[in-house]
Amino acid sequence: MNTELKIVNAPLRETVVMKAGRAGIVEAQMNLSIHEYRVFFKMLTMVDRESTGKELLRISVSDIIQECHLTNAGYHYKTLKEAALSLMTRQIKFPGTLDGKPYTFYVSIIDKTAEPRFETDDLHFLTRFHPDLLPFILDLKSEFLTINRQYLNHLGSPYSIKLYMVLKHQSRQNHRFVTYTLEQLRFILSIPEDSYRKYGNLRQVLNNWVYEINEFTDITIHSVTETKRKRLVQDVTFEVSHKHNAHHRLEPILPETSRVPTEDIKDELFEEIRNYKITRSQFDNWIQLYGREHVNFRIKVGLRYIKQGMIRKPYFYMDSLMKNKELIEQDEVKPTVATYTLPRSVPAAEAMSSPTLPLTSKSLKQQTDDLMEEYYERMNEACNNLLSVRENAFDFLDYVEQLRKQTDKTIIVSMSIQNFDKERLTAETLYGYFKASNSGMMYTFKLQYFKDRHSAIWNGIRTQLQSQADQLGAKLD
């Protein structure tokens, strides 16, 4: 093995630069984990147009941990080094044509990685890009994208990172409205075929990614518009603009002489929850079990309800949120996803043969039906997500007991309680039962609980769709 390879020891800049456009990295498919992205972006800061591509890059694990504000350094030392090794098996996929025929091209990311043999020097590793990838990094004569890496460091999901990259590039190209088909969006974001098969599920996590981008980067996604054809979502349009005052959100890069060990950095996330009798050891245990990004999102969601006085036992509630890997809180995510249905075009011959057919009214009715279907679907999904949390399941049981004590119950409420008693539901079986039941008296009973006990979320969903309802003259019951 050649031991005379040149080693690049320090980043050349704090920006990530890569080729964009149809034949670039930005819109190519990159199925990377969050830690693989972090290693990849760190490497990009260490090459420039003068690089030969043969240099080995010395990647400091402690630098990545500090720059990405990660806690539990011991855990992340291991996972980041594993990410560097796994990058050797990762490829970037580009759609293209050859001899007039469509192909998918595969380009490897890394061709060499080395790690120290002695534990005393185990704070870094060496790596370099694959020669086939270098043109996408060094040949930047036409379209390319430059991003301050600190924006990327604050994003906690590989999907939000990739969505930010493509929309940032489109914003730089002065495109305010960016439209992708669902197939294109899934390809660009590297969403597995067996994940988020239903668009309703994809929309929920898409809202989370949008929230992260709006919160932590230099672009704003004002709206996400879905276009339906035959009642199925076909296209998604993002309205994007650049934040002119985004620079104040960036944290300054500390010089080497002033850097302190990651473990000593004050963790602002923990400071937010320590007042609710959550200990540091409990917090660190969550980080180790689930990862900082998972914990970060759930703490932000949980604090909203805790501060509203809706949670009696914050620690148990937070612990339930951590264990729930499918948690989605729709109403907390902005901007609102607006759905517009394209009316069916009617051939002229059909219109002439049916002069009594009110085309406008039919189109309006179709849109109204779609809106109400969307409204109840959102309410149902939000309520099911709440009931998947153990604390809320017990709250539902308490709600039933409070209704049972009322002397002026309506007939509907009395019958609902009787049906509830027949099912013999417990906090453990409640979520599964209601997830499988989307109609009938018990379904109505569930939504009534949602409206009474979680009115803030209920009203939030109504507010999101009220403007569309007003335009259609529909009433959201």
pLDDT per residue as tens digits for the range 182-191? 888 888 888 8
My answer on whether 53 and 157 are in the same domain is yes
pLDDT, residue 341, reads 38
- 348 or 131, which is more confident? 131
- Give the range of the structural domain holding residue 78, as residue numbers without chain letter: 7-246
- Lowest mean pLDDT segment, chosen from 176-180, 338-342, 452-456: 338-342
In 3D space, the residue among 219, 223, 224 whose CA is nearest the CA of residue 242 turns out to be 219
Q: 95 — phi, psi (to 5°)?
A: -80, 140
Q: Do 283 and 234 share a structural domain? A: no
Whether 256 maps to a domain, the answer reads: no
| Statement: residue 412 has pLDDT above 60 | yes
* 16 and 85 assigned to the same domain: yes
49 contacts 184 by C-beta, under 8 angstroms: no
Same domain? 131 vs 178 = yes
Same domain, 358 and 442: yes
Q: What is the pLDDT of residues 236-254, one digit of tens each?
A: 999 999 887 655 444 433 3
- Of 89 and 419, the structure prediction assigns the larger pLDDT to 89
CA–CA gap between residue 240 and residue 244 (Å, rounded)? 13
Examine residue 289 and state whether it is found in any structural domain, yes or no. yes
214 & 131 share domain: yes
Rounded to a whole number, what is the distance in angstroms from the first to the last CA of the chain? 73
Q: Which of 196, 218, 246 is the last residue of a domain?
A: 246
Mean predicted confidence (pLDDT) in 426-440: 72
In degrees rounded to 5, what are phi and psi of residue 231? Answer: 70, 10
Q: Write down the pLDDT at residue 332.
A: 40
pLDDT of residue 163: 92
455 and 349 in one domain? yes
CATH code for position 66: 1.10.10.10
Same domain, yes or no: 242 and 271: no
* pLDDT at 38 > cutoff 80: yes
The per-residue pLDDT for 359 is 35
Q: Is there a domain that residue 254 lies in? A: no
Domain-embedded: residue 288: yes
Last residue of a domain, one of 186, 217, 246: 246
pLDDT in tens, 63-76: 888 888 776 666 67
Model confidence pLDDT, tens digit, residues 436-476: 665 466 777 888 888 888 888 888 888 888 877 777 777 77
Q: Is residue 49 part of a domain?
A: yes
**What is the pLDDT, as a whole number, of residue 348?**
37
Q: Are residues 362 and 449 in the same domain?
A: yes
- For residue 144, the one-letter residue type is F
Residue 272: how many other CB atoms lie within 10 Å: 13
Give a yes or no: residue 2 inside a domain: no
d(CA 220, CA 242): 6
Q: Do 75 and 168 share a domain, yes or no?
A: yes
Last residue of a domain, one of 218, 246, 274: 246
Q: Measuring CA to CA, which residue among 72, 35, 39, 71 is closest to residue 58?
A: 39
Q: How far apart are CA 141 and CA 412, in angstroms?
A: 70
The CA distance from 136 to 127, in Å, is: 17
Question: What confidence tens digit (pLDDT) does each residue in 282-310 have?
Answer: 787 777 667 777 788 788 878 877 776 66
User: Which tens digits make up the pLDDT trace of 98-119?
Assistant: 888 888 888 888 888 887 776 5
Please check the confidence at residue 371 and state whether its pLDDT lies above 70.
yes
Mean pLDDT confidence for 215-219: 88
Tracing tokens 């898409």 back to the chain, one arrives at 206
Task: Examine the pLDDT at 51 and tell me if it is beyond 80.
Answer: no
Q: Would 39 be classed as within a structural domain? A: yes
Q: 3-state secondary structure string, the chain?
A: CCCCCCEECCCCCCEEEEECCCCCCCCCEECCCHHHHHHHHHHHCCCCCCCCCCCEEEEEHHHHHHHCCCCCHHHHHHHHHHHHHHHHHCEEEEEEEECCEEEEEEEECEEEEECCCCHHHCCEEEEEECHHHCHHHHCCCCCEEEEEHHHHHCCCCHHHHHHHHHHHHHHHCCCCEEEEEHHHHHHHHCCCCCCCCCHHHHHHHHHHHHHHHHHHCCEEEEEEEEEEECCEEEEEEEEEEECCCHHHHCCCCCCHHHCCCHHHCCCHHHHHHHHHCCCHHHHHHHHHHHCHHHHHHHHHHHHHHHHCCCCCCHHHHHHHHHHCCCCCCHHHCCCCEEEEECCCCCCHHHHHHCCCCCHHHHHHHHHHHHHHHHHHHHHHHHHHHHHCCHHHHHHHHHHHHHHHHCCCCCHHHHHHHHHHHHHCCCCCCHHHHHHHCCCHHHHHHHHHHHHHHCHHHHHHHHHHHHHHHHHHCCCCC
Assess contact for 63 and 42: CB atoms under 8 A. Answer: yes
* Position 45 pLDDT exceeds 80: yes
Pairing of strands 219-229, 337-341: parallel
Average pLDDT of every residue of the chain: 74
Statement to judge: residues 422 and 307 lie in one domain = yes
Both 201 and 302 in a single domain?
A: no
Q: Answer whether residue 393 is part of any domain.
A: yes
The total domain count for the chain is: 2
